[in-house]
Amino acid sequence: AGGGTADFKKGLPEFEMNFAMLPTLLTAMGVPTTAYSVDLAFKGSSVYYGFQTGIAYALTDQLSASAGVRYNMAKNTYEGSITNVMVNPNLPALGLDGSMIPASTLFTALGDANTAAALADQEVDAELTGNGITPIFGLNFKVNDKINMGLKYEMKTKMELETKTTKDLTAGPMFPDGEKERFDIPAILSGGVSLQVTEPLMVSVGGNYYFDKNADNADMAEGIDSNTWEAQVGLEYAVDEKLSISAGYQRTQFDLKKGYYSGLSYDLNANTIGGGVEYLLSDNIALEFGGLYAMYEKKEFKEDLVAYEKSTWLIAAGLQYTIKK
């Protein structure tokens, strides 16, 4: 479970591209125009909630197996606006002297009601929701007192999102009301090994492999070359009986085509570093703090004058309670 919100106070590039063509279009129509302006705004969020339960069984003193299920609920929301589309036509016959005027007013004067309506102020307000169930299976093998190995497989989650739209663009709907699209969560194979190097120091390595190509996902329908993978390494050091500190690194690798990338959906290769602190308040209560910094690699399409890049900070705190016999 997880998610986030992005607030683009000046909109997205793909929103502005059509308006950027207005001066060229009007000039070709015999209305000399050299400039345009538009106020754009867009805010989107994507959140997945998960509720999980499972059981584990010791097959031998060293080998155990587990099975579980997770119920997933997805909710994506989109809000945006396009207002104040202005151009500076210079056509004395219509009393236009090159001053900025509303584009809708100009196209109304030119007798193009459809384009005038498309350039009027408009808003977007849509919500996509859906749910799905993930079966989960795992194995754990304790080689000896120092080495432990684990393997987990999460099956593909079939998920269909339905769109509920209250406002949409008049020129061409971005989010058709009632539309249903598949957004499957891909199957995931995860594995890890931990080594107790010394009494206070433990080293762990692991990885995740996402079977993206086998998932029916509208976001990835046209843009995935090969499956995604992640590799991790971590260290945990017990300072004393109550205090432990940890640090880790993760590499995330995507292999996506140009067609996948848009302002609404994109993924970037990343290097992530993190750290944490755990302090035992009692035998069954632990206070935990953690943080990470994800450094995403820039993806640029020079022919389109578009680049995607970002960085992310995350800070978390928790209180863990363990029930003991």
Dump pLDDT digits (tens) for 154-167. Answer: 999 999 999 999 99
Tokens 């590499």, residue?
Answer: 251
Confidence of residue 261 (pLDDT cuts 50, 70, 90): confident
Cα–Cα–Cα angle for 270, 272, 275, nearest 5°? 175
5-19: pLDDT as tens digits = 888 888 877 778 889
Residue 119 CA, chain-centre distance (Å), reads: 30
53-111: pLDDT as tens digits = 999 999 999 999 999 999 999 999 999 999 999 999 998 988 899 999 999 999 999 99
Domains and CATH numbers, the chain: 186-325 (2.40.160.10)
Q: pTM score, two decimals?
A: 0.84
- Residue 191: predicted pLDDT: 98
What are the structure tokens assigned to 52, written together? 């999980």
Q: Give the integer Cα–Cα distance in Å for 310 and 294.
A: 9
What are the structure tokens assigned to 237, written together? 């050091």
- Residue 2: predicted pLDDT: 57
Is the confidence at residue 136, as pLDDT, over 90? yes
What are the structure tokens assigned to 117, written together? 């309506």
